[in-house]
Amino acid sequence: MLVWAALFGIVSIGLFWYARHQPFPDHGNLAASFYLFTSMILFIAISSPRETSPTVPPLLAVVLGGWFTIIGGYHMGRTQRDVIVAPFSGIILVAGLFGLVTSGWTEQTPTEQIGNFVIASIFVLLEIYLLFRGLVVGIQGITWSQSGLRQLERGLIHGPRGAISHFERSWDMEDPALSAMAHAALALIHRSFNHEEEYENHLKRLDRFGGWNAVDPSWLEAINNRLKNHETPDLSQE
């Protein structure tokens, strides 16, 4: 039981840590909160006067891990707003599966053992893919661009979690249009704060991608509207 409580706790800490560096940390923080709560429950169950069934922790791992792996996979593949929930939840899921398939291993028939081994191997391969896709490939530039627009809408401009920081990470060498959008957004932001040096710097970089004409007018309008409608607190001291 202590091992399972430690596993849920370690995964939750990892998610909380990595979520701080994500453009949309909400998804990672939600999953981490569930895992931390489960870890606390399992830790409390250790001192319970009634012994907890050994199948309860792996069942919890399969249910919670499987659910958040599906959610994380959706965000990784479709919305592109999160890349950490799926691989971290996959660790919980695989651990739960191994806990279930190895339960009563010596009492299983050779056919059952082979079947359980194949199932576990498939999920291990899936987890390897999720780790590579999420932690190696990482976040796409478009995601940082989306989060930068959200921070701008909130009026959060400066600091490590501000719109400027997010737009500065939204380059994409394979998508010049996305890089042009990022430089255009940064140029408009710095111009609104009378940061002439930064404005000229991003304006020159924007010219390399075709200048203002290379940027969709709706994108420029969205940036300008958010700059006009929201006050911009300085978060550089965070």
Q: Rounded mean pLDDT of the chain? A: 87
155 lies in the same domain as 121: no
158 lies in the same domain as 216: yes
CA 46 to chain centroid? 32
17 lies in the same domain as 133: yes
Residue 152: name the closest of 118, 123, 116, 189 by CA: 189
In a domain, 235, yes or no: no
Residue 91, C-beta contacts closer than 8 angstroms, at least 6 positions apart = 7, 11, 65, 127
Number of domains in the chain: 2
197 lies in the same domain as 152: yes
Q: CA–CA distance from 110 to each of 55, 88, 116, 117 (Å)?
A: 22, 32, 10, 10
Q: Please, what's the b/e burial string for 117-136 (b: 16 or more CB within 10 A of its CB; e: otherwise)?
A: eeebeebeebbeebeebbee
15 lies in the same domain as 130: yes
* CA atoms of 65 and 190, how far apart (whole Å): 43
Structural domain ending residue among the three candidates 137, 161, 185: 137
Strand residues in the chain grouped as ranges (E):
none
* pTM check: above 0.95: no
98 lies in the same domain as 192: no
Rounded to 5 degrees, φ, ψ at 50 are: -100, 130
User: 134 falls in which pLDDT band (50, 70, 90)?
Assistant: confident
Q: Which residue has the tokens 């890349």?
A: 83
Host domain of residue 48 = 2-137
Per-residue pLDDT of 213-225, as tens digits, reads 888 888 888 888 8
| pLDDT value at residue 31 | 96
Per-residue pLDDT of 175-200, as tens digits, reads 788 888 888 999 999 888 888 888 88
CB atoms within 10 A of CB 158: 18
| pLDDT value at residue 233 | 43
CB atoms within 10 A of CB 142: 15
Per-residue pLDDT of 71-116, as tens digits, reads 999 998 888 888 999 999 999 999 999 998 888 787 888 888 899 8
